[in-house]
Structure 1
Amino acid sequence: MAFWGVELKPGKPFIHNFEQQRGRLHVSQATLGNGSTNKKCIVQCKVGDKEPIYVCSFLPEKLETCPLHLEFEEDEDVTFSVIGSHSVHLSGFFYGESEDCCGNGSDDYEGAGSDSDDPIEFEYDTEDEDEDGSSDDDFSMYPPSPIPNSGVKIEEILEDEKPTDENGTSKKSKKKKNQSNGTDEGNTDSALLESEDEDGFPISAPRESKTKSVRSKKSDGTEDQDTEEEAINEKARDNVDERKGLKKRVRDDTSKANDQRVTEKKKKKKKNKKNQQDDKAAVTEQDKKNESQEVEENKPSHVRSFGNGLVIEDLAMGKPDGKRASPGKKIGVRYIGKLKKNGKIFDSNIGKRPFEFRLGIGEVIKGWDVGVNGMRIGDKRRITIPPAMGYGTKGAGRDIPPNSWLVFDVELVNVN
């Protein structure tokens, strides 16, 4: 098979000529190229003088490649063209083999377009051999190593026969065998065992270059290798103990921090619970107040209405044997005055000394003379006063506009 590819540019159709020596053409894929707009791009194909047929359609940034399965073996020209502002790359291959498929290609194609529009063709070999002639089958001679490279060097100390010196004293000789590579090492200075701590981390014994070697000489001047190795092993054990102590301190600090966090959580939870209880108690107390207020407000009251609009409503009753307000007597009251229209308070003496006047002789507006008459000490009334019995068409200052309906909540305090 031989690869086939061509770039279709807008306004430059490509004409494919059928050649018997190349075999039939198979187009396998179309890919959208560069362009300046986001509009749809269409590839069409025309065989001879027949009407063009749409092959595929692209939408930039959404659909930019399309697999195809088109084969051409017509003896007429096949024209490929693109509709839109993008270029489109067509790729495929030729079926069959040809003697001149690797030639210079001077007579391969005839068609409209510049040199850049010519299709790119090359042949490839399907064999698996490399450039040097070797294939993947050669590697089957070398099976993978059964020993995984774990990164930890395991060494074993083997004890040979005990040779004797000139004085007849036996002397131990150590031989170290590397199990990972199967070689023997005779250097006693590097005979340091690697071990693992309780968490699986390797611990290397200190090298002679980093620690001071302890050497002792015997009476005959020979170095005591056993003493040296014992000192090195002792140093290694000290390092292991130090690491274990450090880990223990870390665990203790972590446990202490966890205990502290648990204690803080318990304190916070207890505090939140107390706050919730306080809030619940406050809500309960407020509900009781609201209920008592509702009961007080919902108590049946005696209401008297007059033809001119005056309304007298008894809100609360004082002592049954209390003194009554009657015309000519001097009385003291506490009151709150509001406009009926919007409920705005324009006058009040709550928290101050009682307001005193003589009832029924015109010292106050007429609505008061009528509305307060008959009250007992401790009684509370709500008096709705029309403008004719209040301040009339003139009003009173800036707070009481003309023709205002007034509402007074009055409590009788004393009668003289």
Structure 2
Amino acid sequence: MAFWGVELKPGRPFVHNFEQERGRLHVSQATLGNGSTNKKCIVQCKVGDKEPIYVCSFLPEKLETCPLNLEFEEDEDVTFSVIGSHSVHLSGFFYGESEDCCGNGSDDYEGAGSDSDDPIEFEYDTEDEDEDGSSDDDFSMYPPSPIPNSGVKIEEILEDEKPTDENGTSKKSKKKKNQSNGTDEGNTDSALLESEDEDGFPISAPRESKTKSVRSKKSDGTEDQDTEEEAINEKARDNVDERKGLKKRVRDDTSKANDQRVTEKKKKKKKNKKNQQDDKAAVTEQDKKNESQEVEENKPSHVRSFGNGLVIEDLAMGKPDGKRASPGKKIGVRYIGKLKKNGKIFDSNIGKRPFEFRLGIGEVIKGWDVGVNGMRIGDKRRITIPPAMGYGTKGAGRDIPPNSWLVFDVELVNVN
């Protein structure tokens, strides 16, 4: 096998041609490269003049690597290209042309290494002889182990004699020989020998060394690839869990927002209901005030006093059927204004044209809007006005000091 890799850049397709010498191409992984946006990126493959096929897709910061298992042995051109603004790295390997694992056509080793695409070749030394001149022909039919030398010395038992037992079967006396270098046990470094049991036979652990060798061999390829695929799958599962968590948070936020809206609606409805009750209470209180005012007007006494200090005194009555001054109507009056403290006159229009204003809309001080209300043409009243319903703490110019009580003698002249 031979490594293969290429970087696909936006707008620059890569064309792969099948080469007999290099073998078929196997693409095993695609990884997202550099880019400037967070939009989806797609890798597509086109064989000859056929329609392109999507191979994989990526989403930056979400899914940036994808394991593949694609092989290409087409005689036509295979074009890889990327859709998006990111580059993509493709990696894999070539399958080389395989040969007979033995390489010498011998039938003794037929089928050896058939389970692997990269067969292990063995070398046999048929001319090795023992120190006593004997040949290893008796063992030439057994090929040496294809497992690489792990540093463990493996001992064999050699036959010196062939005595015959009672049944006519030949017995062979056993002699220890070091298979790794063809020397007797007496010339072998004791530090490299394995431990022996109580009968003097070595205790070897070829399986463990073989397992280590196989693992070390796999660690260069398959095992790393499996580990990387597991990491990719784990990351994909984490992404799925993250998306589920995000959806759950969105649902929770939506539910919380709905609950908040419902709560606000209830509060608003409760507030509106309270305002309506307050309005009703205000209307009721105003009705009571109007009733009390009517009662005061219907009293036989000509003086009416209010809790805030306002005093209305009827001095003279006009025509019973005369027009009445009421809020919103434009009226004309004559008046004399005095300070209650010392009786000093600060204003008057006696002998002049009547003073006209619209009653109840704030064109005059509050004491006038209340004190003149209800008068008929020809009526005369004396209105004592507290500071709160007059000019208050500021007063009015040099004639009316702050916090002054005022007394007005008013005569209603006309009502329009």
Question: Which moves more between the two structures, 234-243 or 329-338?
Answer: 234-243
Match of 1:377 in 2: 377
Structure 1 residue 343, shift from structure 2 partner: 0.1
Structure-2 change in CA distance of 1:172 and 1:220 (3 Å): farther
Question: Which moves more between the two structures, 304-313 or 34-43?
Answer: 34-43
Using the alignment, how far apart are the partners of 2:227 and 2:81 within structure 1? Answer: 91
Structure-2 change in CA distance of 1:162 and 1:56 (3 Å): closer
Using the alignment, how far apart are the partners of 2:43 and 2:214 within structure 1? Answer: 87
SS in 1 for 2:82: strand
SS in 2 for 1:116: coil
Q: Is the 8 A contact 1:192 1:207 kept in 2?
A: no
Q: Is the 8 A contact 2:25 2:92 kept in 1?
A: yes
Structure-2 change in CA distance of 1:247 and 1:198 (3 Å): farther
Structure-2 change in CA distance of 1:59 and 1:310 (3 Å): same
Using the alignment, how far apart are the partners of 1:273 and 1:190 within structure 2? Answer: 104
Question: Which moves more between the two structures, 250-259 or 327-336?
Answer: 250-259
Question: Which moves more between the two structures, 34-43 or 169-178?
Answer: 169-178
Structure 1 residue 342, shift from structure 2 partner: 0.1
Match of 1:170 in 2: 170
Structure-2 change in CA distance of 1:116 and 1:373 (3 Å): same
Deviations along 1:105-147, whole A, 9 cap, x unmatched?
A: 9999999999999999999999999999999999999999999
Structure-2 change in CA distance of 1:387 and 1:69 (3 Å): same
Structure-2 change in CA distance of 1:222 and 1:188 (3 Å): farther
Deviations along 1:279-327, whole A, 9 cap, x unmatched?
A: 9999999999999999999999600000000000000000000000000
Using the alignment, how far apart are the partners of 1:212 and 1:381 within structure 2? Answer: 123
Q: Is the 8 A contact 1:5 1:121 kept in 2?
A: no
Q: Is the 8 A contact 2:126 2:136 kept in 1?
A: no
Using the alignment, how far apart are the partners of 2:227 and 2:286 within structure 1? Answer: 88
Q: Is the 8 A contact 1:12 1:113 kept in 2?
A: no
Question: Which moves more between the two structures, 37-46 or 190-199?
Answer: 190-199
Structure-2 change in CA distance of 1:229 and 1:202 (3 Å): farther
Question: Which moves more between the two structures, 233-242 or 375-384?
Answer: 233-242
Structure-2 change in CA distance of 1:160 and 1:392 (3 Å): farther
Question: Which moves more between the two structures, 113-122 or 275-284?
Answer: 113-122
In the TM superposition, 1:97-176 aligns within 5 A as none
Question: Which moves more between the two structures, 327-336 or 133-142?
Answer: 133-142
Using the alignment, how far apart are the partners of 1:88 and 1:390 within structure 2? Answer: 87
SS in 1 for 2:273: helix
Structure-2 change in CA distance of 1:318 and 1:242 (3 Å): same
Structure-2 change in CA distance of 1:304 and 1:86 (3 Å): same
Structure 1 residue 402, shift from structure 2 partner: 0.1
Q: Is the 8 A contact 1:305 1:312 kept in 2?
A: yes
Match of 1:85 in 2: 85
Structure-2 change in CA distance of 1:223 and 1:300 (3 Å): same
Structure 1 residue 358, shift from structure 2 partner: 0.0
Structure 1 residue 166, shift from structure 2 partner: 292
Match of 1:226 in 2: 226
Question: Which moves more between the two structures, 72-81 or 364-373?
Answer: 72-81
Structure 1 residue 385, shift from structure 2 partner: 0.1
Identity within the alignment, %: 99
Structure-2 change in CA distance of 1:346 and 1:92 (3 Å): farther
Q: Is the 8 A contact 1:322 1:377 kept in 2?
A: yes
Structure-2 change in CA distance of 1:73 and 1:396 (3 Å): same
Using the alignment, how far apart are the partners of 2:212 and 2:22 within structure 1? Answer: 82
Question: Which moves more between the two structures, 115-124 or 303-312?
Answer: 115-124
Q: Is the 8 A contact 1:157 1:174 kept in 2?
A: yes
Deviations along 1:172-204, whole A, 9 cap, x unmatched?
A: 999999999999999999999999999999999
Using the alignment, how far apart are the partners of 2:271 and 2:168 within structure 1? Answer: 84
Structure 1 residue 396, shift from structure 2 partner: 0.1
Question: Which moves more between the two structures, 390-399 or 66-75?
Answer: 66-75
Q: How many correspondences in the alignment? A: 416
Structure 1 residue 338, shift from structure 2 partner: 0.1
Structure-2 change in CA distance of 1:49 and 1:62 (3 Å): same
Deviations along 1:254-284, whole A, 9 cap, x unmatched?
A: 9999999999999999999999999999999
Q: Is the 8 A contact 2:334 2:413 kept in 1?
A: yes
Deviations along 1:51-93, whole A, 9 cap, x unmatched?
A: 9999999999999999999999999999999999999999999
SS in 2 for 1:213: helix
Structure 1 residue 13, shift from structure 2 partner: 180
Q: Is the 8 A contact 2:386 2:406 kept in 1?
A: yes
**What are the ranges of 5 or more consecutive residues in structure 2 without an aligned counterpart?**
none
Match of 1:400 in 2: 400
SS in 2 for 1:216: helix
Structure-2 change in CA distance of 1:257 and 1:316 (3 Å): farther
Structure-2 change in CA distance of 1:152 and 1:272 (3 Å): farther
Question: Which moves more between the two structures, 265-274 or 250-259?
Answer: 250-259
Question: Which moves more between the two structures, 168-177 or 404-413?
Answer: 168-177
Using the alignment, how far apart are the partners of 2:119 and 2:221 within structure 1? Answer: 88
SS in 2 for 1:105: coil
Q: Is the 8 A contact 1:334 1:411 kept in 2?
A: yes
Q: Is the 8 A contact 2:148 2:213 kept in 1?
A: no
Structure-2 change in CA distance of 1:232 and 1:284 (3 Å): same
Using the alignment, how far apart are the partners of 2:215 and 2:25 within structure 1? Answer: 86
Using the alignment, how far apart are the partners of 1:87 and 1:217 within structure 2? Answer: 33
Structure 1 residue 337, shift from structure 2 partner: 0.1
SS in 2 for 1:145: coil
Using the alignment, how far apart are the partners of 2:103 and 2:217 within structure 1? Answer: 86
Deviations along 1:347-395, whole A, 9 cap, x unmatched?
A: 0000000000000000000000000000000000000000000000000
Structure 1 residue 12, shift from structure 2 partner: 175
Question: After TM superposition, where is structure 1 displaced by more than 4 Å over at least 4 residues in a row?
Answer: 1-301
Structure 1 residue 407, shift from structure 2 partner: 0.1
Structure-2 change in CA distance of 1:385 and 1:242 (3 Å): closer
Structure-2 change in CA distance of 1:267 and 1:415 (3 Å): closer
